[in-house]
Amino acid sequence: DTGVSQDPRHKITKRGQNVTFRCDPISEHNRLYWYRQTLGQGPEFLTYFQNEAQLEKSRLLSDRFSAERPKGSFSTLEIQRTEQGDSAMYLCASSFDIRAWHEQYFGPGTRLTVT
């Protein structure tokens, strides 16, 4: 399977714990996006990378959130001191910016539940 993969698919954690999610984009894709989807809402943009550079961060991304893409390949999203409001589906997408439109391919998501 050469699509976008995310790990883990599900995570249950207690409030106050730190969690880290991983996204592996399609191999030749140089752009990587993180979105968050809360219950009953559409996905909302969090941040994106062009290669290893983080170029934009949404105001939704509080200082408890940090994302990295150290070698321009996989990316990690870490949430420190989780809160119940962090419970959501975290979606990763990747694209290749050579073409006029950079088609984003979404992964299956990581569902986070904070108890």
Partner 1 sequence: AQKVTQAQTEISVVEKEDVTLDCVYETRDTTYYLFWYKQPPSGELVFLIRRNSFDEQNEISGRYSWNFQKSTSSFNFTITASQVVDSAVYFCALSEVGRDDKIIFGKGTRLHILP
User: Which range, of 12-20, 21-29, 38-46, 77-85, touches partner 1 by CB under 8 A?
Assistant: 38-46
Number of residues counted as binding partner 1 (CB under 8 A): 26
Given candidates 7, 24, 45, 66, which one binds partner 1 under the rule CB under 8 A? 45
The nearest distance, CB 68 to partner 1, in angstroms, is: 18
Q: d(Cα 39, Cα 4) in Å, to the nearest integer?
A: 22
Kindly state whether residue 18 participates in binding partner 1, applying the rule CB under 8 A. no
Helix (H, G, I), strand (E, B) or coil at 85: helix
Kindly state whether residue 106 participates in binding partner 1, applying the rule CB under 8 A. yes
Kindly state whether residue 25 participates in binding partner 1, applying the rule CB under 8 A. no
Q: Which residues of 48-61 are buried (b: 16+ CB within 10 A; e: fewer)?
A: bbeeeebeeeeeeb
